[in-house]
């Protein structure tokens, strides 16, 4: 008898797990339970709208979802329509692929002022995430600060400064494109509490900021190590004798930033300023953000040392792109410090597994979730194959949702919505997204 597996969350981590269960030949019926009406998680609502090539993996996930042994239950929130305990009763295995949807807190005065947003909300807003379409970020000033030196900070800065023609082939939400392009914004400051050598940018994403149509990157050469230093600092892996990956990325990033300093003072209307060694200490303003104060830092042995020297940037918009946290699932332990579900290489409790950011914390690219799925499928196979107690699985979930009159969205319905979105893109944009359940239900009725 096949085992029944519920995967909570239909983002990359969930799909890679379903895919691994199928490819490893585990005899399983797999139900993907997703709180949004649409699948694909960060592919749809996290990856930048102008990075369409990263989103192509959704085609592969669609093939997985279309297999007979896999079902998609969109618009079903665990903790709202069905409880986690109920799922445990219905399924042999429950996989937590719930990601890390909450923003880390900045923990500084002023972070709750209007005009200050976490990247989860801000990125969700421009990506048409139903939870954030009403965010209405304040875009009425000339300057914005993006806090953090990771790829999300680069995404946010880039989306804010690209011209309308540069965004034509993106799937940015219409309301966001209009608001951003109507905004008076000319200067975006990317604030890092450490130096360029510690930044977590990947090189391709950093390089993009030097190739924009109407925006120039601004880097203070004094922030960069001397050229000789850059090539000499450690980084030989004792295991392989090779220059390690992190050092290669860091050297490449520094070379890219150096190339930015060499760009002639051009006539671009907008600028992205890299402000290194600046730890945010306060967002100032009376009834909204009016500026950000920071303290200059230096880095010694990887640690941030405050210098007692302060500076300020006047700005009406602050986006904190400083990482994410998972949410607590009632009935399960939660590591509040690390913002994840405690687990032993993915095993959370008997029959309960975690994958992706819920397992590891918010690091890595989309493909980093694939190994988690492979490990999880092996664990499920080793722990449970052939032991099915005949739990009701899908039939039980459908019965429960029926009794509760839950309007779940099937994968076939999602495919109709997907086709409608692509058609609305008019052959230029990859799609025009529905951004609410009501719009999606209306389209399905139509």
Footprint of ligand NAP (CB under 6 A): 106, 147-153, 155, 192-194, 198, 200, 202, 205, 280, 321-323, 362-365
Tell the smallest beta-carbon distance from residue 109 to ligand NAP (Å).
13
Nearer of residues 176 and 397 to ligand NAP, judged by Cβ: 176
How far apart CA 42 and CA 120 sit, in angstroms, is 10
**Is the separation of the CB atoms in 411 and 39 below 8 Å?**
yes
Nearer of residues 192 and 351 to ligand NAP, judged by Cβ: 192
| DSSP secondary structure, 360-392, as one string | H-S-S-GGGHHHHHHHHHHHHHHHHTT------
Nearer of residues 137 and 150 to ligand NAP, judged by Cβ: 150
Q: What is the DSSP letter of 331?
A: T
Residue 54, burial from CB neighbour count under 10 angstroms (0-12, 13-18, 19+): middle
Nearer of residues 198 and 335 to ligand NAP, judged by Cβ: 198
Tell the smallest beta-carbon distance from residue 364 to ligand NAP (Å).
5
SS3 335: strand
Nearer of residues 356 and 373 to ligand NAP, judged by Cβ: 356
How far apart CA 173 and CA 171 sit, in angstroms, is 6
Tell the smallest beta-carbon distance from residue 41 to ligand NAP (Å).
12
Strands 352-354 and 143-147, sheet pairing: unpaired
Enclosing H/E stretch for 398: helix 393-403
Tell the smallest beta-carbon distance from residue 368 to ligand NAP (Å).
8
Nearer of residues 207 and 258 to ligand NAP, judged by Cβ: 207
Enclosing H/E stretch for 298: strand 291-300
Nearer of residues 363 and 410 to ligand NAP, judged by Cβ: 363
Tell the smallest beta-carbon distance from residue 292 to ligand NAP (Å).
11
Read off φ and ψ for residue 207, nearest 5 degrees. -60, -35
Among all chains, which residue has been given the structure tokens 């996290």?
46
Nearer of residues 80 and 298 to ligand NAP, judged by Cβ: 298
Enclosing H/E stretch for 8: strand 3-8
Tell the smallest beta-carbon distance from residue 195 to ligand NAP (Å).
10
List of E strands, 301-417: 303-314, 317-320, 324-325, 347-349, 352-354
Nearer of residues 130 and 150 to ligand NAP, judged by Cβ: 150
Nearer of residues 264 and 301 to ligand NAP, judged by Cβ: 301
**Is the separation of the CB atoms in 99 and 424 below 8 Å?**
no
Q: Which residues pair with 283 in a beta bridge?
A: 292
Q: Which residue is nearest to ligand NAP (CB)?
A: 150
Tell the smallest beta-carbon distance from residue 408 to ligand NAP (Å).
29
Angle between helical axes of 57-65 and 12-23 (0-180°, round to 10) = 60
Separation in Å, CA 366 to CA 16, 29, 264: 10, 25, 36
**Is the separation of the CB atoms in 398 and 392 below 8 Å?**
no
């Amino acid at each position: 008898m096949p085992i029944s597996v519920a995967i909570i969350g239909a983002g990359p981590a969930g799909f890679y797990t379903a895919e691994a269960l199928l490819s490893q030949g585990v005899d399983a019926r797999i139900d993907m339970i997703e709180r949004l009406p649409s699948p694909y998680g960060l592919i749809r609502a996290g990856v930048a709208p102008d990075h369409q090539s990263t989103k192509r993996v959704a085609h592969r996930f669609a093939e997985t979802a279309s297999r007979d042994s896999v079902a998609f239950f969109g618009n079903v929130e665990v903790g709202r329509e069905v409880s986690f305990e109920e799922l445990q009763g219905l399924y042999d295995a429950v996989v937590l692929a719930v990601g890390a949807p909450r923003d880390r807190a900045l923990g500084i005065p002023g972070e709750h002022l209007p005009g200050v947003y976490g990247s989860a909300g801000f990125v969700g807003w421009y990506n048409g995430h139903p939870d954030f379409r009403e965010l209405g970020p304040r875009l009425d000033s000339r300057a914005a600060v993006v806090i953090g030196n990771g790829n999300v900070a680069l995404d946010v800065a880039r989306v804010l400064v690209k011209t309308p023609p540069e965004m034509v082939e993106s799937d940015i939400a219409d309301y966001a494109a209009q608001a951003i392009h109507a905004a008076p914004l000319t200067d975006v400051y990317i604030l890092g509490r450490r130096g360029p050598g510690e930044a977590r940018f990947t090189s391709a994403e950093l390089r993009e900021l030097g190739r924009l149509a109407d925006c120039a990157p601004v880097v203070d050469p004094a922030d960069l190590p001397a050229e000789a230093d850059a090539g000499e600092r450690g980084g030989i892996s004792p295991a392989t004798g090779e220059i390690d990956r992190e050092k290669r990325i860091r050297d490449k990033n520094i070379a890219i930033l150096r190339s930015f300093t060499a760009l002639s003072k051009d006539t671009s209307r907008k600028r992205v300023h890299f402000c290194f060694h600046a730890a945010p200490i306060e967002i100032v303003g009376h009834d909204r953000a009016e500026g950000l104060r920071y303290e200059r830092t230096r880095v010694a042995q990887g640690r941030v040392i405050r210098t007692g020297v302060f500076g300020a940037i006047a700005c009406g918009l602050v986006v904190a792109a400083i990482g994410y946290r998972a949410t607590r699932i009632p009935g399960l332990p939660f590591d509040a410090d690390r913002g994840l579900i405690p687990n032993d290489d993915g095993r959370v409790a008997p029959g309960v597994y975690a994958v992706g950011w819920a397992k590891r914390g918010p690091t890595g690219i989309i493909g980093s979730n694939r190994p988690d799925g492979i490990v999880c499928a092996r664990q499920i196979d080793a722990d449970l194959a052939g032991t099915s107690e005949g739990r009701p699985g899908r039939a039980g979930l459908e019965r429960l949702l029926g009794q509760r009159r839950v309007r779940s969205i099937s994968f076939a319905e999602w495919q109709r919505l997907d086709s409608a979105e692509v058609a609305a893109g008019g052959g230029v944009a990859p799609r025009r997204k529905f951004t609410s359940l009501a719009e999606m239900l209306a389209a399905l009725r139509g």
